[in-house]
Structure 1
Amino acid sequence: MSQGLHLSLRNVTKTFQGDAGEPFTALSGLDLDVRGGELLTLVGPSGCGKSTVFALIAGLTRPTAGQVLIDGAPVTGPALDRGVVVQQHALFPWRTAQANVEFGLEARAVPIRERARRARELLGVVGLSGVEERYPYELSGGERQLVAIARSLAFDPGVLLMDEPFAGLDARTREWLQERFVRVWRHTGKTVVFVTHDVGEAVCLGRRVAVMTAGPGRVKEVVKVGIDPMEGGSRAHPAFAEHRRHVGSLLRDELAAARARERKVTASHG
């Protein structure tokens, strides 16, 4: 299994055409570096451009200015060096768990026996040995998301992009998945960018937490989290509450600044 790749966003600006024909700048001069094999979480206020960053790294859209680089090479579109996991797992309901994971290997023309072996191995990596022949409807929500992660790993990507993958699940399932995912990340050595709106999740998972400004989005601060989630649970670590408070404070400051700008614009049009 290949190791994680270095990801860079350099002075990235992204402008869209608004509904009224006016240009809308989602990102402005954003800089971010994610080291190979790092798990970085990305948080920010609603509308800050988190989803735009995700789409740019995935190659679903291109920057208006600046560069998105994978190991120094520009991202020009979707490619197998990036795997994607989103909130809606999008498993094929007519395929078993193993067959869903094999789908990623079929795209690479892997022989049938090797596909089956690799799919079983990946299901083991995410902790789902024994469910190979079950269909999605026979799995819990958390198990379905783990199958989706295994399917993304089947491409052997250097970068794994996670967009709110555990949102919509109950708190206990989310914590179970967070712990399980950290084990998967440690085992695979992939570079992970994990987008979330949950401050606790960001601090629990991220070795670093990138906090974005209110739109147009930039990186306000990158918070280094010196907590090992594999040693007694990161939420029980004495530093967890302090990191969570700090990241939460950064977000509240951005929300306050955004509201102040809105009031100023409203007053100027009044």
Structure 2
Amino acid sequence: MYLIKKELFTIIIFFFLINFAFSKDITTLNSYSHDENQCSNTTTISVEWTAPSVSGDKYYATFSKGITFVFDEYDPSDPEDVPEQVIPPARHFSHSIERTSHTVDSEGTYYFNIVIDSEGEYGATASIGPFIIDTTAPSPVNVYGVTETDSNSIELTLEPADADQVCILLNTTNTVSCSWGYIPENRKLISPTLSEGNNQIYAFFKDIAGNTNQASHNISCSFEENEQEPTTQKAVSIPTLSEWGQILFLGILVLGALGVIHRNKIAYICASE
């Protein structure tokens, strides 16, 4: 009984070692340039992996478009019968290589597929994706508003196509200064503070993949100032003390003169009689 158990254990270990030797699998597989199931306008896809490979082991790897595939369906040593989704050629890496990149030439959905080749025996194919490549700018885009105003800002109406973010700049196209924000549901925004004269408003639109497009709108500003005429007040001259003395003196003189004239007139009348 003991010998039977020992033989069974030996057989199990043997098959385990055979499986380890000829069915090594990729341990981890990641992309350091893209997120799976996320749109991106970056056309170079970069991936990296880890695996229990040793000297003598190799990797077969390739990118595919639309769907994944397993290397059992495709013998990379015989590239004459390449599946439609495979982007040739299949790459043969040594066990020391742990990353690769590929630049795609069109929009679409892409995957990366890799397998360990251990002396002609393949492990399980590992795949990562989809990586969604979108390089088309949102279009058509536009921005509307009044063309003349006496206010320092106006309401803008956006036409964003399939963009989901917007940046509004005044009299510049330098997007380095952009503060991107999500487009409101009503597609309306208030413009930056305008200045006197002509103002050029630029609306930059960005979609989920990072593609951008722009539109512009010209607005003329004329600020009307409410000019108020100054109030003119008549000056009231108040006599000083010395002026009062002069007035009193002149009054006395006038009264005295009138008194003399009156006495002379009476004397003349009496003399005539």
Structure 1 length-normalised TM: 0.21
Higher relative contact order at CA 8 Å, sep ≥6: structure 1 or structure 2? 1
Which protein is bigger by CA-based radius of gyration?
2
Q: Per residue, is there more strand in 1 or in 2?
A: 2
Q: TM-score, normalised by structure 2?
A: 0.21
Give 1 or 2: higher helix fraction. 1
